Structure 1
Amino acid sequence: MIRIVIVDDEVFVRAGFSALLSLADDIEVVGQAGDGAEALSVVRQTVPDVVLMDVNMAPRNGLEATLQIVKLPEAPRVLIMTSASPDNTAWQAFATGAHGFMHKAATPAQIIGAIRMVAVGGTATTPEVMKRLIDENNLRNPRHVAQARSRIDLLSGRHRDIILLVGRGYPNARIARELSMSENTVKSYVSRALEKLGVDNRTQAALLVRDSGLLDETLANESRVL
């Protein structure tokens, strides 16, 4: 069962999400909050698996709350929800440590699928947001690319292989299948790789991989082979 906390300053929006998630037999809403400050308290009390987090709230918005939530001892994974145009919000969301970014206008199936993906260690977003991120990523500053790549170069062997797959948004179970390793071994490698990279979570590691351009090269090579 995936335990969920819903955070949104609109009562009707929270009720709508709660009703939607009740349709999934593997999801349970264990708490709700009306702003980022209350969210931190509710998360500490309920220890959910995933937080469905709105962005624009006062006095503490969703991005500020996410920064604090992902640092908790038993930190849940955070799926950011917004009704605004993605613009730079998607970048900001992932930079805070969020594990997914979805528009509130997404279909019920997309939202439930995103929650399930995030809960098992993946990264979730819509094709439209992913295209925007890729387009913006293609405009990277060369110096920024070099800095990101120098950090990735701290890794070698399996640590590097695994972190590149993390960069694709793969959860540990899929990485284990791809590399013919046990899931526990993958988990240990990921933890060590995050430590070497100096990042707090796998979403930040995925962003670093993307910034380095190594993911683009890997996908391009695979396309040539196909």
Structure 2
Amino acid sequence: MIRVLVADDEPMIRAGVAAILGADPGIEVVAEADDGRAAVEAATANRPDVVLLDIRMPRLDGLAALAELRRVLPDVAVIILTTFGEDDYIARALTDGASGFLLKAGDPRELITGVRAAAEGAAFLSPKVAKRVIEHLPAGRMSRGAKAREQVGQLTEREREVLALLGSGLSNADIAGRMHVVEGTVKAYVSAILGRLGLRNRVQAAVLAHEAGLVED
């Protein structure tokens, strides 16, 4: 059973998300919170597997709550709930250890998929959010797509395959099944990819996979 905390200051959004998740027999909403400070306190008390965190909340906004959760509960997966127009927040959360990003107005099926992926240690990016992140990040001297393809060119064919599957939101276990290898081999591939490309976490790797065109949106 995947234990989830839902944190959003809008009661209707919070209730809707909780209802969608509660309809899945493998997911249990163990707590709700209406601000960032309450989210941290509820997570500490209930020890959920996944926290769904609105990026804009009173008392402690989503980014500050994310940082606090990373400090006190480093193993909990945090998915950021966002809307269009919050690109600055998304870009910052990307580097602060978020496990994924979902649009509030997105497909309910993505909500279930995202929670399951995060609980299994995968990175999940709603395709629309991934596109927004990529468009918002600075282009620099070369287009980000060209830079990403150049970076990915350092990888072996097998590592590129792993990166593409990681960018699709698959867990290590799922990737192992697709590639017909043991999970430990996938973990070694992921560690090698992050190290070689200078990436901090799986979400940054997932963004790079999208930028390089390895993932079909």
TM-score normalised according to structure 2 size: 0.75
The DSSP-based 3-state class of the residue aligned with 1:88 is helix
CA distance in 2, matches of 1:76, 1:2: 12
- 2:77 is matched with 77
Task: Give matches, 1:61-100, under 5 Å.
Answer: 61-72=61-72, 74-100=74-100
CA RMSD of the aligned region, Å? 3.5
The one-letter code matched in structure 2 to 1:91 is A
Q: Deviations over 1:123-153 (max 9, x none)?
A: 334333233334446x621379699899889
Unaligned runs of 5+ in 2: none
Q: 1:65: how far off?
A: 1.3
- 2:116 is matched with 116
Identical positions, percent? 36
Q: Work out whether residues 86 and 129 of structure 1, in 8 Å CA contact, stay in contact via their aligned partners in 2.
A: no
Q: 1:21: how far off?
A: 1.9
The one-letter code matched in structure 1 to 2:88 is N
The structure-2 alpha-carbon separation of the partners of 1:196 and 1:45, relative to structure 1 and needing over 3 Å to count, comes to farther
- 1:57 is matched with 57
CA distance in 1, matches of 2:49, 2:31: 11
Task: Give matches, 1:33-182, under 5 Å.
Answer: 33-72=33-72, 74-136=74-136, 140-142=139-141, 162-163=162-163, 165-182=165-182
The DSSP-based 3-state class of the residue aligned with 2:60 is coil
The one-letter code matched in structure 1 to 2:25 is D
CA distance in 2, matches of 1:70, 1:163: 24
The one-letter code matched in structure 2 to 1:39 is A
The structure-2 alpha-carbon separation of the partners of 1:36 and 1:196, relative to structure 1 and needing over 3 Å to count, comes to farther
Q: 1:52: how far off?
A: 0.8
- 1:7 is matched with 7
The structure-2 alpha-carbon separation of the partners of 1:58 and 1:136, relative to structure 1 and needing over 3 Å to count, comes to closer
Q: Deviations over 1:57-91 (max 9, x none)?
A: 12211112112323445522111112453433332
CA distance in 2, matches of 1:180, 1:114: 24
The structure-2 alpha-carbon separation of the partners of 1:45 and 1:187, relative to structure 1 and needing over 3 Å to count, comes to farther
Q: Aligned residues, how many?
A: 215
TM-score normalised according to structure 1 size: 0.73
The structure-2 alpha-carbon separation of the partners of 1:155 and 1:131, relative to structure 1 and needing over 3 Å to count, comes to closer
Q: Deviations over 1:177-222 (max 9, x none)?
A: 3443211332354356546766553213434x459x6x34x579xx
The structure-2 alpha-carbon separation of the partners of 1:197 and 1:127, relative to structure 1 and needing over 3 Å to count, comes to closer
The DSSP-based 3-state class of the residue aligned with 2:87 is coil
Greater CA drift, 112-121 or 26-35: 112-121
The one-letter code matched in structure 2 to 1:106 is G
CA distance in 2, matches of 1:188, 1:37: 37
Unaligned runs of 5+ in 1: 221-226
- 2:27 is matched with 27
Q: Deviations over 1:12-64 (max 9, x none)?
A: 43233222322111110112222222222222222211111011112211112
Q: 1:163: how far off?
A: 4.9
